[in-house]
Amino acid sequence: MSDRVQIFEVVARDGFQNEARFVETADKIALIDALSRTGVAKIEATAFVSPRAVPNMRDAAQVLAGVTRAPGVVYSALAPNLRGAANAVAAAAHEVNVVLSASESHNWSNVRMTCADSLADLTRIVDACSLTGTPVNISIATAFGCPFEGPVAPSRVLDFVKRCAQAGAAGVTLADTIGVANPVQVERLVAAAMQILGPVPLTLHFHDTRGLGLANVYAAWRAGARRFDASLGGIGGCPFAPGATGNICTEDTVHMFAEMGVETGVDLEMVIDLARTLPQLLGHDTFGRLTKVRSRAQAECRTAAAQ
Amino acid sequence: MSDRVQIFEVVARDGFQNEARFVETADKIALIDALSRTGVAKIEATAFVSPRAVPNMRDAAQVLAGVTRAPGVVYSALAPNLRGAANAVAAAAHEVNVVLSASESHNWSNVRMTCADSLADLTRIVDACSLTGTPVNISIATAFGCPFEGPVAPSRVLDFVKRCAQAGAAGVTLADTIGVANPVQVERLVAAAMQILGPVPLTLHFHDTRGLGLANVYAAWRAGARRFDASLGGIGGCPFAPGATGNICTEDTVHMFAEMGVETGVDLEMVIDLARTLPQLLGHDTFGRLTKVRSRAQAECRTAAAQ
């Protein structure tokens, strides 16, 4: 059981936040409810951020209120600061995912705070959330590289990891916000972070910008990581990171682990079916490979049947 | 130096063989000549196969005759049988790459021979090529799975590897013809194959059909492999394997190794520039991520400059 991999679905947050078209609240809720039945361990349902800065997240409270909580699924919400965390708790999020960046310039661009201020806030956020018993996961963005500053020193990232644990984080996520991580770097940083974190669970959050998403998942898994964020259809990206593109794709990630003989508990056919509903919802094509393989196979069958 | 990775460029063979439009001989020669200057260790320039079955390879002899041989680059040609090998030698290929499949039904579909006949031919081909001192690399197709039969037993693949070595192969390639390999399988099979092969070099040939191409490269590299086939722009695929799609992309593979701090000797900017000429040559878009990242970055710069 300890070797089972957990998939955390982020399409409703990281996926939708970067969409130009507003995704209707009812559509968000319907998708989250459908995802609840696929076997994903956690769903990042929304973000409590500035509605002006991220218009697609302006219905955060309604989304959380409208979702049918399925047993065994953790409904998480992202928050950049204490106010966002308080709103997430008020909306009965099971978990608050606080984000700060390892690099100063991305932290400023993303949450308008210095890293020192964000770090100082962590304890206050954890304490506030503990009043309702809400666990806080802390996501460290730009942990593998920054769109403004380039490489980020591993020692700095690991220092952030230590401070997150000290602040009382229930979990820590290392995020490759702009898809610049490479597998060797991932194996090293994951091993070092897990050593610091001990029993505090580590999650990896990769983007597939340069095609290394699943290579990085494999590298992290090899180093011992068992928790991965992924987005249905591989959509997503940070609106405040130039060049950011889609997350690793849920269905492709689930498929890789299935082929590797690693249990995720996620029903591959269900996530493929859901991924295939995205283009109509979003008005554009998505990035998953499995959906394309299936579509091609079905087209070949139709051609064969017509002959 | 022994840890340097060698990139074998297969766009002119595996890439073009699957294109509907005939690529003009002069264009093939120009591309191969340009690739010769990028630092790739080997170029699979063409295939000596039935011109009816694979029309884009019908100019095999002219291509090899027209190419300017750059020092340090091996110009290889694929052949499915003794006749093809003889033609490749006559055209002064530096190396003949003989292909057979680990699965009966794909071998039949691809080269119209039983596996037993293909295996028996190996010694004859190696002996014939040795008359001119031409080394023979043997590629084992469907080594990680077959489009018709599904999984292929590793014991069968490893038996083929042993027979290739016994036949006097100068090198052996394990090919994931339809992109179904997974990293765990790759690590195991590569480690076992290298043990059998000893000093005979092993090459890996991956397709990226399900997005696992670079994950598989990383897994193979981790198991000790240092030679990889790749195709500019990620184009290619076997015309006789349903569902086959593009090879792993040269520029994305070179980029991954560069980021990992592993030397390939290939100039990344040169291969990106060449990959960006492919859509015009082929009449369709290609699959590389790096070219898209660069195009997007340039578009952003132009937008910024215009503001």
Phi, psi of A230 (to 5 degrees): -155, 155
CB contact under 8 A, A290 and B210: yes
Percent of chain B with pLDDT over 90: 88
CB contact under 8 A, B255 and A297: no
Write down the pLDDT at residue B2.
Answer: 56
Inter-chain CB pairs, A–B, below 8 Å: 90
- Please choose, from the candidates A156, A213, A167, the residue with its C-alpha nearest in 3D space to the C-alpha of residue A189: A156
Chain B residues touching A183 at Cβ < 8 A: 218, 256, 260
Query: Looking at chain A, which residue has its C-alpha nearest residue B299?
Result: A243
* Residue A1 maps to a domain: no
Q: What is the pTM of this model?
A: 0.95
Provide the shortest C-alpha distance from residue B297 to chain A (in Å): 7
* Residue A207 maps to a domain: yes
Residue that the structure tokens 């560069």 belong to? B258
Write down the pLDDT at residue A212.
Answer: 97
Locate A210 and state its tokens: 């340069």
- The DSSP secondary-structure symbol of B22 reads P
Catalytic entry in B115, B164, B238, B249: B238
* Residue A155 maps to a domain: yes
CB burial readout B44-59, b (16+ within 10 A) else e: bbbbbbeeeebebbbb
- Please choose, from the candidates A98, A96, A102, A130, the residue with its C-alpha nearest in 3D space to the C-alpha of residue A116: A102
Provide the shortest C-alpha distance from residue A261 to chain B (in Å): 9
Provide the shortest C-alpha distance from residue A294 to chain B (in Å): 10
What's the CATH code of the domain at A102?
Answer: 3.20.20.70
Residue that the structure tokens 């994931």 belong to? B176
* Residue numbers of the domain that contains B296: 6-306
Nearest by CB to residue B219, choosing from A180, A218, A242, is A218
What's the pLDDT tens digit per position in B64-119? 999 999 999 999 999 999 999 999 999 999 999 999 999 999 999 989 999 999 99
Chain A residues touching B259 at Cβ < 8 A: 180, 182, 184-185, 212
Catalytic residues of A: 238
Write down the pLDDT at residue A130.
Answer: 96
A289 Cβ under 8 Å from any chain B Cβ: yes
Strand intervals (E) in A54-115: 74-79, 95-101
Rounded to whole angstroms, the Cα distance separating B201 from A243 reads 39
* Residue B72 maps to a domain: yes
A116 Cβ under 8 Å from any chain B Cβ: no
Angle between helices B82-90 and B115-130 (to 10 degrees): 30
Inter-residue contact A242 to A20 (CB < 8 Å): no
| B238 is an active site residue | yes
* Residue A266 maps to a domain: yes
Residues in chain B: 307
| Structural domains counted in chain B | 1
What's the pLDDT tens digit per position in A125-146? 999 999 999 999 999 999 999 9
Chain B residues touching A261 at Cβ < 8 A: 184
What's the pLDDT tens digit per position in A62-91? 999 999 999 999 999 999 999 999 999 999
CB burial readout A111-126, b (16+ within 10 A) else e: bebebeebbebbeebb
Judged by average pLDDT, the poorest of B12-16, B242-246, B260-264 is B242-246
* Residue B1 maps to a domain: no
- ipTM of the complex model: 0.94
Rounded to whole angstroms, the Cα distance separating B44 from B121 reads 21
Distances (CA, A) of B127 to A284, B30, B93: 56, 33, 16
Rounded to whole angstroms, the Cα distance separating B138 from B115 reads 13
